Amino acid sequence: MVYFYISVFDNKITHAEVFDSEILSEQYHSLYYGPEEEMPNFLPKGLTTPRGGHIYAYINGEVVERSPEEIAAEEDAANPIDNYNPQDDTDAMLVDLEYRLTLLELGITESEVAE
């Protein structure tokens, strides 16, 4: 006989494991007890996406699949580099360059501007 447990943080399933003994802990939630060969596949898609989004949530004692929008929002928040646009950096550098050239042409230093 085995126990199938999940660990939940912020309603997201963060860990799943099969144990051969009962665990008494508030961080683990037992979903199954019985023969290992009869254990249903609770998490057929795995725990996370390749970008780290949690696929399943544990809400009101039920394992539910999160919507693609929820998963995408979590992935975007965790991976801001994926939303990086190099054009933004180029635009910022051009603005700074134009500002410095204007100061140079006017014969003004940055310390004079700050005063």
Domain that holds residue 108: 85-114
- Mark out the alpha helices in 1-115 (DSSP H runs): 68-78, 86-106, 110-114
Question: What are the phi and psi torsion angles at 98 (to 5°)?
Answer: -60, -40
In the prediction, which pLDDT does 81 show? 73
Distance in angstroms (rounded) separating the CA atoms of residues 41 and 78: 28
In the prediction, which pLDDT does 37 show? 80
Same domain (yes/no): 44, 99: no
In the prediction, which pLDDT does 96 show? 94
Same domain (yes/no): 107, 59: no
In the prediction, which pLDDT does 34 show? 85
Same domain (yes/no): 52, 69: yes
**Residue ranges in the chain modelled with pLDDT below 70:** 24-27, 82-83
In the prediction, which pLDDT does 94 show? 95
- Our CA dihedral for 90, 91, 92, 98, rounded to 10 degrees, sits at 110
Same domain (yes/no): 89, 60: no
Same domain (yes/no): 103, 71: no
Same domain (yes/no): 60, 108: no
Same domain (yes/no): 36, 67: yes
Same domain (yes/no): 94, 46: no
Structure tokens at 85: 């646009």
In the prediction, which pLDDT does 10 show? 81
